[in-house]
Structure 1
Amino acid sequence: MPLDSPSSAAFTATPEQLLPDLDPRLELTLLARTLWHEGYNDHLAGHITYRLDDDTYLCNPWYLLWDEFTPDDVIRIDADGKVLDGRWPAPLGIPLHLELHRARDDVRVAMHNHPRWGTVWADAGRIPPLLDQSSALGGGRLVFVDEYAGPVDQAENARAAVDAMGDADIALLAGHGVFVTGNGIRAVHQRAVALEQRCRNAWHAEVLGKPVELPEQVRARFAASKGDGFRGFWEAMARRELRRDPALARWLRTA
């Protein structure tokens, strides 16, 4: 299906028909670019890891913004952070991801950044209330990690943060930012978008006064989601990025 001309068949289309098959490097690039437009845009900050079947990891490169790097710039690293493929170094904070992947076999994709609203709540040391369904769509368990002994480019600090996170899916990191994990690109995208919306809406609602949280049973039902059930959302945002930069089309597996 052409990227710029959705058809009526899209109403019954499978996710594979909604988005061409993507090379993993393109998937990671599109995740970074879509999240940049959602507020994950703190200059050079932030890193994404995508665990491959051989237990190496694709990663965004250091020195390039999330809205400018391409699949050609994506690097591949080993479990110790050594660059195996690529022309760029790994981001400075990559020890946070490596420690997480060592501890969590269930995590395929992990993303860290300093979005405005998520970082505000992390700075305040509070978990924002869950007020609306769009803010809940990512599912998973959100925790506040009340430890900041220094930057996570040091393995000891990274390990302490991962230990404090436990088996949670999403974390607000005191004095730092946010950490979002999932079983794939779609889950991390949905969770990251929902988290920033949750943090933003909760802040505005508190300014108005007396925010009303979703009922407990509703919150529990949303929390049980693995984050990958909202079929079509990731595909739509990825298509938008492909339209923004048509040069990326050469990385489509069906191209």
Structure 2
Amino acid sequence: MPGVGRELTEPQKIACAARILDAQGYALDVAGHITVVRDDADDGSMWCTPYGLWWGELTASDILVIDTDGEVIQGRWDVTPAVFIHTELHRARPDAKTVIHNHPHYGSLLSTLHRLPEVTEQQACMFDGDMALFDTYTGGVDDAQGGRHLADAVGKATAVILANHGVLIAGETTEQATYRASNFERVCRLNYEALATGHSPVPVPPAQRPTLKAAINSHHMTVRYFWDGAVRRLLHDAPDVLD
């Protein structure tokens, strides 16, 4: 595979992730945020997208550094008031190095139904046993207590429907979390469109799911193929994302 053609810094990856998802219609104006725990620091600090800019206009230089309490320690923009969704999930989940939240259309549609998608096609096997429904709308998560409540409720899930709100995705890397976010919105759309036919979709047999789940979550195969191709396409059209 040709790869991306260059090494990307973490802020560059985050800006690319935001633009890739925005191009898929995933982002709702200034809503949504991406955080990544910094590997180059031992204080738990995080890279974070800024509040007030649309994902489709972000560049690497816009990405903030925040501390474990959500305070900006580096960067020229403000942080989202809902940063506690991220700080407390990262605190509770060492595996969740990257957390993505936004209000994509089909995930948000299922959130109005308080419904998780079913595993009815092979791509959905990526989330088999790893989905959660946070089924109480609590308004904005604007303090640490609310963030802890959310983190406790979702447990180890990698894809979460937030009732009457949106979607939360966790991943081990920015690349994996971006692929999960993109794929989960597709899964939600297929579920909705299947329900709209008036017929009952047929689930993937449980015995077939583990192999597919491992393959689709693989950093060295499916995740890499998605990420490299999406970034190549982005850099061809918008190389300024790396600035």
Q: Same fold (TM over 0.5)?
A: yes
Aligned to 1:30: 16
2:184 paired with 1:198? no
2:94 paired with 1:105? yes
2:58 paired with 1:58? no
Letter in 2 for 1:25: P
CA contact (8 A) 2:58 2:241 kept: no
The alpha carbon displacement at 1:62 in A equals: 0.7
C-alpha deviations, 1:182-201, integer Å up to 9, x for none?
A: 10011101111110000001
The alpha carbon displacement at 1:18 in A equals: 4.0
Aligned to 1:6: none
State how many pairs are aligned.
236
Instruction: Give the secondary-structure state (helix, strand or coil) at the position aligned to 1:149.
Output: coil
The alpha carbon displacement at 1:140 in A equals: 6.6
The alpha carbon displacement at 1:161 in A equals: 1.2
Q: Distance in 2 between matches of 1:110 and 1:247?
A: 24
Name structure 1 gaps, 5 residues minimum: 1-9
Letter in 2 for 1:52: R
* CA spacing shift, 1:174–1:248, aligned 2, 3 Å: closer
TM (norm. structure 2) is 0.90
Q: Percent identity?
A: 33
- In the TM superposition, what are the counterparts of 1:58-137 in structure 2 within 5 Å? 58-137=47-126
- In the TM superposition, what are the counterparts of 1:192-231 in structure 2 within 5 Å? 192-208=181-197, 209-224=199-214, 226=217, 228=219, 229-230=221-222, 231=224
RMSD: 1.8
Aligned to 1:7: none
Letter in 1 for 2:94: D
CA contact (8 A) 1:108 1:182 kept: yes
2:230 paired with 1:240? no
C-alpha deviations, 1:120-168, integer Å up to 9, x for none?
A: 1111111111222234446671111112222112322222111100111
- In the TM superposition, what are the counterparts of 1:126-205 in structure 2 within 5 Å? 126-137=115-126, 141-205=130-194
2:27 paired with 1:41? yes
Q: Which moved more, 1:23-32 or 1:217-226?
A: 217-226
TM (norm. structure 1) is 0.86
CA contact (8 A) 1:144 1:174 kept: yes
Name structure 2 gaps, 5 residues minimum: none
* CA spacing shift, 1:189–1:241, aligned 2, 3 Å: same
Q: Distance in 1 between matches of 2:240 and 2:4?
A: 19
